Structures are given as C-alpha cells and as structure tokens.
Amino acid sequence: MTCVKKKAEAKGFTSKPSTSCCPAGKLRGFTTRIIGDIPAATSEDVDIAVKAARKALKRNGGKDWATASGAHRAKYLRAIAAKITEKKPELAKLEAIDNGKPLDEAAWDIDDVAGCFEYNADLAEALDAKQNAPIDLPMDTFKCHVIREPIGVVGLITPWNYPMLMATWKIAPALAAGCAAILKPSELASVTCLELGEICREVGLPPGILNILTGLGPEAGAPLASHPDVDKIAFTGSSATGSKIMTAAAQNVKPVTLELGGKSPIVVFDDVDIDKAVEWTLFGCFWTNGQICSATSRLIVHESIAKEFLEKLVKWAKNIKISDPLEEGCRLGPVVSGGQYEKILKFVETAKSEGATISFGGKRPEHLKTGFFIEPTIISDVTTSMQIWREEVFGPVLCVKSFKTEEEAIELANDTHYGLGSAVISNDLDRCDRVTRAFEAGIVWVNCSQPCFSQAPWGGKKRSGFGRELGEWGLENYLSVKQVTRYISDDAWGCCGVGL
C-alpha cells in the first residue's frame, strides 16, 4: 500500500515512521491538548497517490487486482476484517480520543467496520457468478452478455463523525469491485484511517491499491476531486462542499456519489407509548454527540401529548452522562473541535434571539471546565422560519414543534431542503405506511431512529445528495457495465443490398 502520511501519537500508541515530508497539522484530544501530528498533503502528494493507484491496476496486466476474481479480492477483505476485530480495543480507544464519541459507541463502530468488510467480501465472491450474464435478445442471430468491470481509480473523501466506518463504507465496496482507491479522511479525525492503512499493509494488500492522504480540503481534497486520472469521486460531508466537488468532477465528466447533510424529522403520533418514543427521540438526535448527518433533530409531536412529551424529554436529558469519552458509562462526549463547539453555541443563541425557548441545555456542563462539551439541548416554541428549524446544526440539539393532523405533520416533515433520513412513531401501522410513502427522504425508520445495516441502501434526496451506499447498491457505485454482442449466424449480413 502506498500511503502519503505520517502516523500520529495518541496516549501511549506508538508512532510509525513517516513516508511523507508534508508539513504537519495538529490533533487535539477531548481535553483540547495536542495528541499528535498529521501531514497536510498537497496536490503533489495527490499526483503521487494517483500514479501509484494507476500502476497498481495495470500491474501484471490487471491480474493482481482489477481483473482477478472476486473470490481472490474477498480473501483480502476478510483478512482486513479479522485484523480489525483483533485490534478492536486499540482502534476504539483511538477513535474515542480523536473524535470525542463515547468509547462504547466507538467500539460498536469498529464492529460495524469489520462487518462491512465481511459483507463486501461476500459481494465480491457473488460478483464472479454475475460475470458474462446473458441478455435475451429479439434476434437469434446475435448473442449478448455483460461484463462487470471496476470503474478504475476512485477518490474517497470522508467526514469526521464516523472516521473509520465512513471510510470503510467506501473502501470495502471499492476494493470488492476491483478498484484502486485514494482516501482523503477529514483533517479533524484521521488517526483510525491511518491505522486502517497499516492493517491493509499487514495483510499484504497489493501496493497502490489503497492510498491514504491526510490534509485539508482545498489542498488535498480539491485536487483529488478534479484530477483527470481519477475515474470517480465518492464524498460524504456538507452540502456546500458536495456542490464544490460536483463542480470539480464535472470538468472531467466523472461520476460522483454524494451523501450530504440532513435535517431529518421524527414524527410522533398520540397513540404511542410515550416513554419508548422519548427514548427513540433522544437516541435519534444525541447519538454520536449529535454529530450525525441523519440525526432526527426536528421533533414533530402531536399537540395532545406535546407537553408531557417535552417534560419527559427534559427529564431524561438531564440524566444523560456527559464525561470523558473513555469513562465508563459515558453517553455524551465532546464535539469534535473548537470550531464546531462555537458553531453549535451560536445556533442556540440565534434560536433564543428569534424567540425560541431553551427548554434544557445549550451550554457547557458545569462539572466540565475544559473540552468542547455541550449539554444535550432541547429547544421548543420553534417556528418554521427559524434557523434552528431549517439548518443542520451537527451537534446535540433537538428542536420541537407540535402538529394537529397527519397532513400537517407530513407537510412539516417535508418542509426542508434536505431529504436523508426520517422517522415515524405510531402504533397504527397503516398510518405509518401512509407517512412513509409521503416522506421525501431516502431513508425511513418506523418506530425507531438511526438503525443502519451493511445490507440496506443508504442515501438521500434533494440537498442530501444522490446515489446509494451499502448493500448491493454500494458495490454498483464502483462497477462499470460493458455490453458484448456477437453475431453468430453463418449468413452474410447483407448490408445495403450488397452481396458477396
């Protein structure tokens, strides 16, 4: 594997030799102290990585990877999964230190990383049986089949909220398809992605198949998106950055997959078990410190239960343990950076100035004097014109609005530029089905919020992007389909009346 990188030190984890001379950026832990350095890659580093990827695909006529069997590639994916499982305690701790999420959540993420590699190993093996699949034609003088080929060199740009997992959602299917990949993780949380590079090296992944570049968006991400020898870009992040990537990719007419922001609704009807619905509402917004693109951060609750529901939300939120993410029982750690911390607090202040009520939270917990900690925040008396209702916060902030009728609830839910996730909670399954069909979103949860499985498609509509990750849809992102048609008759074609 070619990695243009330098390993970072973090609380006792040994740094590895650098393979780059890039200038270093600083990593900060939950106390805001620096825990290590990573390089800021440049366009020159992007060129090196692209050349390495191109070389890897062509090596031995492609037989080492691109044109090898899916079963051959699956062996590497399963070896990566096994090594991730073996190193789970170390990886989870690194993720919690670098990202700020509770250690338990980080450990579950690592399980999902291993599971995603295993699942895509299965898809790689199944791909062999789909090769040369015949196509029925209306003329018996021709035969037709399709070949599924890797799309080529792919650029993968990933966020900081699920550093290793979001990278895996792209890397695993790209490798399963036979592509060579260049990963540019978020500069705010790159450590476990670098560890993934070391794991790929340990299992003997052919050199150049996975390349990792750490650095800033303008200096590393932009050159990757616009590089003429990169065949596809897959991006997860903000809608604003997604628009820029789409523009850059358009210059070379290369395909893109975009999983962007969200402002997802959770609609709660009056026939529910309130305690269960409150639990799902809190989980749907405050999981991963509220830093989830699909967070159901707009609660739309029936007016007849709204008062009781809000009171229970506040009561439960007060009992959420906010602490050092490595501390046992932590359920809310710090947000990822000082910039994100200030941004979230500004959202809360703007909501207050616009007339909303801060029912709970919206400030630093009194028992934590350092670190970027914010109490779980519940904002009521919200109108649809307020910034807090319309814009993605990406932090532990829930806004609340009530409704009278099913039609009004659907209208409120769809009143957004985004269309990633959505949830409906009701004991009336016919109603749930109606609401599900009416939601303008790529993902709908019924009587729950946020479950995600490697087997099921993930992606959105409107400004939440397009394309799907995970499941068979995720693999298709990295495949090109080639039609092969053969004339099988012994007769001359007889074109234009010309005889032989």
pLDDT of 9: 29
Q: Left if phi > 0, otherwise alpha if psi is -120 to 50, otherwise beta: which for 167?
A: alpha
pLDDT of 30: 66
pLDDT of 471: 97
**Residues 433-449: tens digit of each pLDDT:** 999 999 999 999 999 99
Residues 6+ apart with CB under 8 A from 418: 239, 260, 261, 262, 263, 264, 392, 460, 462, 463, 464
pLDDT of 36: 83
Q: What is the DSSP letter of 53?
A: H
- List 259, 375, 392, 406, catalytic entry: 259
**Residue 293: HSE in the Cβ half-sphere, 13 Å Cα cutoff:** 29
**Residues 180-237: tens digit of each pLDDT:** 999 999 999 999 999 999 999 999 999 999 999 999 999 999 999 999 999 999 999 9
pLDDT of 494: 83
pLDDT of 12: 24
- Tell me the C-alpha to C-alpha distance, in Å, between residue 456 and each of 239, 443, 444, 472: 23, 10, 12, 8
**Residues 91-107: tens digit of each pLDDT:** 999 999 999 999 999 99
Q: What is the DSSP letter of 396?
A: S
Residue 136 corresponds to which tokens in the numbers above?
Answer: 């029925």
Q: Is 486 exposed, middle or buried (0-12, 13-18, 19+ CB in 10 A)?
A: exposed
259 as an active site residue: the answer is yes
- Residue 491 CB coordination number (10 Å): 7
Q: Which residues of the chain have pLDDT under 70?
A: 1-30, 497-500
Give the residue carrying structure tokens 């780059």: 20
Helix (H) or strand (E) holding 119: helix 103-130
